[in-house]
Amino acid sequence: MELSYWEKTSAYANYDVIIVGSGIVGLSTSIFLKKINPDLNVCVVDRGHIPTGASTKNAGFACFGSLSELIDDEQSMQPNEVIELVEKRWRGLQLLKQLVNKDTIEYENNGGYELFTEQDELLYRNCLDRMDFYNSELNKIIGENVYSEYEGAAKHFGFNNVSHVIYNDYEAQLNPVLLIKELSSHASSLGVTLLNGLNVDAIQKLKNGVEVICNDNLIIKGRIATVCTNGFAEKLLPNLNVEAHRAQVLITYPVPQHKLKGVFHYDKGYYYFRNIGERILIGGARNADFDKEQTDSFGITDTIQNKLESLLKETIIPGIPFTVDQRWSGIMG
């Protein structure tokens, strides 16, 4: 199909910035570019009708790191780098809250909990040893101590085989699709053009700009392009060395007997669960099958789904019957 003059010049050309990927990062990038310079002509291109990566598939935790996750990060980073990373996450969350209406995205500050089973005693002791350090460093950023022991929590929530819980008052939960909708309408209101259903196959640098080549040989022309495709980034930028990892999730039908309220972490962040009203969402278990989960293909597997169901059945809501309603996966970099 031939493009009209209008389409060619006003829909697919003359952009100052072409952003590929309309997840949280792509949309936020467009919003902040327009805030810095409202005259910029910005478009965001995504292959999906809605973003199709991680931003609409995730668990909706507004979190910045459980204590054991931070200690685990110390294996590959210096403690000051871990603090810098947490600070970025924290400041990112504050910026996000300024951009969108908290009520519209079902943002609830119900706190976060990290569970330690009897087998995790050593890990728990390590967390206690490092708690003062992280509390004092994060106090400089957040203004309060973040982590505290909550010895009555296991009984309160009805967990089985959980000996200790660490509480974080600053974690919250939200509805990720409502967040994306809010960011999209914010971007549109600032004059950002949102182009959906276009897969970007390549980006070509020209002398005086770029050509973003999409399916059906459609070409979008602009001055610069920015790639916000997360787990799929290597496809457009092969030298970037971004590994794609799949994360699987399940959600139950309403389980009226459960007492969960908030966001919960287990096993150094590899497992996470939360309530959504009377339902329970649980995800993770990537460490049960690292090799298979290192992929950019969506899909669910028995190995991971069985792990999630077992944790739910044996530890989280022991003795309470539940039925799984939906299972899905997302891809992250």
Ligand X SMILES: Cc1cc2nc3c(=O)[nH]c(=O)nc-3n(C[C@H](O)[C@H](O)[C@H](O)COP(=O)(O)OP(=O)(O)OC[C@H]3O[C@@H](n4cnc5c(N)ncnc54)[C@H](O)[C@@H]3O)c2cc1C
**Of 229 and 305, which has the nearer Cβ to ligand X?**
229
Complex with ligand X: residue 164 or 246, whichever CB lies closer: 246
Q: Is 210 among the residues that bind ligand X (CB under 6 A)?
A: no
Which CB atom, from 149 or from 289, has the smaller least distance to ligand X?
289
- 50-58, 110-118, 135-143, 160-168 -> range binding ligand X (CB under 6 A): 50-58
Pairwise CA distance, residues 78 & 312, whole Å: 34
What H or E segment, with its residue span, contains residue 26? helix 24-36
Which window, 8-16, 42-50, 107-115, 253-261, contacts ligand X (CB under 6 A)?
42-50
Of the ranges 39-47, 117-125, 135-143, 301-309, which one interacts with ligand X (CB under 6 A)?
A: 39-47
Is 112 a residue that touches ligand X (CB under 6 A)? no
Q: Which is nearer to ligand X, 8 or 327 (CB)?
A: 327
Smallest gap from Cβ 132 to ligand X, in A, equals 26
Q: Which residues contact 15 (CB under 8 A, 6 or more apart)?
A: 41, 42, 43, 193, 220, 221, 222, 223
Q: Using the rule CB under 6 A, which residue among 15, 23, 166, 266 binds ligand X?
A: 23
Any contact of residue 66 with ligand X (CB under 6 A)? no
Using an 8 Å Cβ cutoff, are 252 and 322 in contact?
A: yes
Contacts with 305 (C-beta within 8 Å, 6 or more apart), sequence order:
248, 250, 327
Q: Which of 44, 53, 70, 82 binds ligand X (CB under 6 A)?
A: 53
**Residues in a beta bridge with 279:** 276
> Phi, psi at residue 190, to the nearest 5°?
-90, 0
| 265 interacts with ligand X by CB under 6 A | no
Comparison of 34 and 47: residue with beta carbon closer to ligand X: 47
Burial class, 43, CB count within 10 angstroms (exposed 0-12 / middle 13-18 / buried 19+): buried
Asked if residue 203 binds ligand X (CB under 6 A), the reply is no
Q: Bridge-partner residues for 317, per DSSP?
A: none
Q: How far is the CB of 283 from ligand X (least distance, A)?
A: 5
Q: How far is CA 161 from CA 104, 118, 165, 259, 263, in A?
A: 37, 6, 11, 17, 19
CA distance 5 to 7: 6
Closest approach, Cβ 231 to ligand X, in A, equals 6
The interface with ligand X within residues 219-238 (CB under 6 A) comprises 228-232, 235
Neighbours of 255 (CB within 10 A): 17
C-alpha to C-alpha distance for 263 and 111, rounded to whole angstroms: 7
Q: Which residue is nearest to ligand X (CB)?
A: 53
Residues in touch with ligand X (CB under 6 A) = 20-26, 45-48, 51-55, 57-61, 63, 199-200, 228-232, 235, 247, 249, 283, 330, 332
